[in-house]
Structure 1
Amino acid sequence: MKRRSLIRHAALATAGLYIAVSAASALAQQRPVRLLVGFPAGGSTDVVARVLAEGMSHLLQRTVIVENRPGAGGQIAANLLKQSPPDGNTLFLSNSHALSMIPLTVRNPGYETLKDFASVGLVAISPDVLSVNPAVVGPVSDLRGLANWARAHPDRASIGVPAASSDPEFGVRLLASTFKVDLNPVPYRGDGPVAQDLIAGQIPGGIGSIGAMLPHARTGRLRIIAVSGPKRIASLPNVPTYVEQGVEGYGTSGFVAVLAPVGTPSETIMRYNTAITQVVNSPRFAEKLSELAIVPTSSTPEELTARIRDAHNSFAAIVRRTGFQIP
Structure 2
Amino acid sequence: MALFCVPAISQDANWPSQPISFVSGFPGGAATDIYARKLGSELTPILNTSFISDNRTGAGGNIASNIVAQAKPDGYTFLLGTAGTHAINPALYKKLPFDPVKDFTHIALLGNLPNVLLVNPEKHPDIKTCKDLLALAKKKPGELNYASTGNGASGHLAAVQFGGASQTRYTHVPYRGQGPAMTALLSGEVDFFFNQSSPSIPVVQSGKARALAVTSSQRIAALPNVPTAAEACDLAGFESTTWYGLFGPAALPATIQTKMSQAVLKTIQTDSFRAWLVSQGIAPIEDGSPAAFKKVHEADLVRWAKIVKESGAQVD
Normalising by the residue count of structure 2, what TM-score does the alignment of the two structures yield? 0.85
User: How far off is 1:324 after superposition?
Assistant: 5.3
Normalising by the residue count of structure 1, what TM-score does the alignment of the two structures yield? 0.83
**2: distance between equivalents of 1:255 and 1:136?**
32
User: How far off is 1:148 after superposition?
Assistant: 4.8
Aligned pair partner of 1:113 in 100, 112, 115: 100
The count of aligned residue pairs is 311
Tell me what 1:7 maps to.
Answer: none
Alignment of structure 1 residues 139-178 onto 2, 5 Å: 139-149=126-136, 157-177=144-164, 178=166
1:230 equivalent in alignment to 2:217: yes
**2: distance between equivalents of 1:174 and 1:248?**
13
1:315 equivalent in alignment to 2:304: yes
User: How far off is 1:35 after superposition?
Assistant: 0.2
User: How far off is 1:71 after superposition?
Assistant: 2.4
User: Aligned in 2, Cα 1:326/1:64: closer, same or farther, shift over 3 Å?
Assistant: closer
Alignment of structure 1 residues 237-256 onto 2, 5 Å: 237-244=224-231, 245=233, 251-256=239-244
User: How far off is 1:180 after superposition?
Assistant: 3.1
Alignment of structure 1 residues 231-310 onto 2, 5 Å: 231-244=218-231, 245=233, 251-297=239-285, 299-310=288-299
User: Aligned in 2, Cα 1:231/1:169: closer, same or farther, shift over 3 Å?
Assistant: same
**CA deviation string 1:263-319 (max 9, x = no partner):** 111111111101101210123322332331212325111110001112222212323
User: How far off is 1:202 after superposition?
Assistant: 3.7
Aligned pair partner of 1:204 in 176, 180, 191: 191
1:124 equivalent in alignment to 2:87: no
| Residues 42 and 192, structure 1, Cα contact 8 Å, conserved in 2 | no
User: How far off is 1:78 after superposition?
Assistant: 0.8
Secondary structure class of the residue paired with 1:118: strand
In structure 1, runs of 5+ residues without a counterpart are: 1-14
Secondary structure class of the residue paired with 2:91: helix
| Residues 250 and 318, structure 1, Cα contact 8 Å, conserved in 2 | no
**2: distance between equivalents of 1:317 and 1:157?**
25
My pick for the range that moved more, 118-127 or 206-215, is 206-215
**2: distance between equivalents of 1:192 and 1:286?**
26
User: How far off is 1:152 after superposition?
Assistant: 7.2
Q: CA RMSD in A?
A: 3.2
| Residues 156 and 203, structure 1, Cα contact 8 Å, conserved in 2 | no
Identity %: 24
Tell me what 1:88 maps to.
Answer: 75
| Residues 72 and 163, structure 1, Cα contact 8 Å, conserved in 2 | no
Secondary structure class of the residue paired with 2:304: helix
**2: distance between equivalents of 1:163 and 1:53?**
28
Aligned pair partner of 1:181 in 165, 169, 173: 169
